[in-house]
Amino acid sequence: MNEVDLTKLFVEYAQTKAHLVELEVVIKQEVFLRKSTVKIAGISAKYYNPSEGTPDYEGSVAAYLGSHPLFDRHYLDEFSETKVSFAWKDICKRFDITVIPGEPKPARVVLS
Protein backbone atom coordinates (compact mmCIF):
# COMPACT_ATOMS: atom_id res chain seq x y z
CA MET A 1 0.00 0.00 0.00
CA ASN A 2 1.39 3.37 -0.92
CA GLU A 3 0.95 6.76 0.84
CA VAL A 4 -1.95 7.80 -1.40
CA ASP A 5 -3.91 4.61 -0.62
CA LEU A 6 -3.24 4.98 3.09
CA THR A 7 -4.33 8.61 2.96
CA LYS A 8 -7.56 7.60 1.23
CA LEU A 9 -8.26 5.07 4.01
CA PHE A 10 -7.70 7.72 6.67
CA VAL A 11 -10.02 10.15 4.87
CA GLU A 12 -12.68 7.44 4.46
CA TYR A 13 -12.33 6.52 8.12
CA ALA A 14 -12.74 10.16 9.21
CA GLN A 15 -15.80 10.61 6.97
CA THR A 16 -17.37 7.38 8.22
CA LYS A 17 -16.75 8.40 11.82
CA ALA A 18 -18.34 11.82 11.21
CA HIS A 19 -21.34 10.15 9.55
CA LEU A 20 -21.74 7.78 12.52
CA VAL A 21 -21.80 10.77 14.87
CA GLU A 22 -24.55 12.35 12.74
CA LEU A 23 -26.54 9.10 12.72
CA GLU A 24 -26.18 8.76 16.49
CA VAL A 25 -27.59 12.26 17.04
CA VAL A 26 -30.62 11.56 14.83
CA ILE A 27 -31.26 8.14 16.38
CA LYS A 28 -30.98 9.53 19.93
CA GLN A 29 -33.40 12.35 19.10
CA GLU A 30 -35.97 9.92 17.69
CA VAL A 31 -35.68 7.46 20.59
CA PHE A 32 -35.83 10.36 23.05
CA LEU A 33 -39.13 11.47 21.46
CA ARG A 34 -40.50 7.90 21.64
CA LYS A 35 -39.45 7.58 25.29
CA SER A 36 -38.77 3.86 24.94
CA THR A 37 -35.78 1.66 24.19
CA VAL A 38 -35.40 0.52 20.58
CA LYS A 39 -33.27 -2.42 19.42
CA ILE A 40 -32.82 -3.01 15.71
CA ALA A 41 -30.13 -4.89 13.78
CA GLY A 42 -28.13 -5.65 16.92
CA ILE A 43 -27.94 -1.97 17.90
CA SER A 44 -29.71 -0.85 21.04
CA ALA A 45 -30.77 2.71 21.82
CA LYS A 46 -31.66 2.55 25.51
CA TYR A 47 -33.99 5.22 26.84
CA TYR A 48 -33.59 6.23 30.48
CA ASN A 49 -36.45 8.05 32.19
CA PRO A 50 -35.60 11.18 34.15
CA SER A 51 -34.69 10.30 37.71
CA GLU A 52 -32.88 11.56 40.76
CA GLY A 53 -29.57 10.53 42.21
CA THR A 54 -29.32 8.91 45.62
CA PRO A 55 -30.81 11.19 48.28
CA ASP A 56 -28.37 12.76 50.76
CA TYR A 57 -29.36 10.77 53.86
CA GLU A 58 -26.14 11.52 55.73
CA GLY A 59 -26.43 15.25 55.04
CA SER A 60 -30.06 15.16 56.15
CA VAL A 61 -29.11 13.57 59.47
CA ALA A 62 -26.26 16.08 59.93
CA ALA A 63 -28.70 18.97 59.34
CA TYR A 64 -31.16 17.38 61.79
CA LEU A 65 -28.47 16.96 64.45
CA GLY A 66 -27.36 20.55 63.95
CA SER A 67 -30.88 21.77 64.70
CA HIS A 68 -31.27 19.45 67.71
CA PRO A 69 -28.19 20.06 69.91
CA LEU A 70 -29.52 17.85 72.74
CA PHE A 71 -29.73 14.82 70.43
CA ASP A 72 -27.16 12.28 71.61
CA ARG A 73 -25.15 10.63 68.83
CA HIS A 74 -25.21 7.29 70.66
CA TYR A 75 -28.82 6.96 69.44
CA LEU A 76 -27.27 6.30 66.05
CA ASP A 77 -25.29 3.26 67.22
CA GLU A 78 -28.06 0.81 66.34
CA PHE A 79 -27.81 2.01 62.73
CA SER A 80 -24.05 1.65 62.50
CA GLU A 81 -22.44 -0.99 60.33
CA THR A 82 -19.26 -2.93 61.01
CA LYS A 83 -17.15 -0.49 59.02
CA VAL A 84 -18.17 2.34 61.35
CA SER A 85 -20.64 3.95 59.02
CA PHE A 86 -24.32 4.67 59.40
CA ALA A 87 -27.49 3.54 57.65
CA TRP A 88 -28.45 7.14 56.94
CA LYS A 89 -31.67 6.21 55.17
CA ASP A 90 -32.87 4.23 58.20
CA ILE A 91 -31.92 7.09 60.54
CA CYS A 92 -33.95 9.50 58.40
CA LYS A 93 -36.93 7.14 58.53
CA ARG A 94 -36.68 6.55 62.28
CA PHE A 95 -36.49 10.22 63.20
CA ASP A 96 -38.80 11.41 60.41
CA ILE A 97 -36.06 13.60 58.93
CA THR A 98 -36.91 15.40 55.70
CA VAL A 99 -34.43 14.05 53.16
CA ILE A 100 -32.47 16.34 50.85
CA PRO A 101 -33.20 14.98 47.35
CA GLY A 102 -30.45 13.81 45.03
CA GLU A 103 -29.50 15.81 41.95
CA PRO A 104 -32.01 15.55 39.10
CA LYS A 105 -30.89 13.37 36.22
CA PRO A 106 -32.37 14.29 32.84
CA ALA A 107 -33.80 11.69 30.48
CA ARG A 108 -31.15 10.27 28.15
CA VAL A 109 -30.53 7.71 25.45
CA VAL A 110 -27.47 5.46 25.19
CA LEU A 111 -26.58 3.58 21.99
CA SER A 112 -24.70 0.32 22.22
Task: Give residue limits of the domains in the chain.
Answer: 3-46, 52-105
Structure confidence at residue 72 (pLDDT): 76
- Contact, 62 vs 31, CB < 8 A? no
Structure confidence at residue 112 (pLDDT): 67
- Average pLDDT (83-100) is 91
Structure confidence at residue 97 (pLDDT): 95
pLDDT surpasses 70 at 30: yes
Highest mean pLDDT among 75-79, 80-84, 92-96: 92-96
- Contact, 31 vs 39, CB < 8 A? no
Query: What does DSSP say about strands 38-40 and 80-81: parallel, antiparallel, or unpaired?
Result: unpaired
Share the mean pLDDT of the chain: 90
0.85 exceeded by pTM: no
What 29-32 contacts at long range (C-beta under 8 Å, 24+ apart), as own/partner pairs, is 31/109, 32/107, 32/108, 32/109
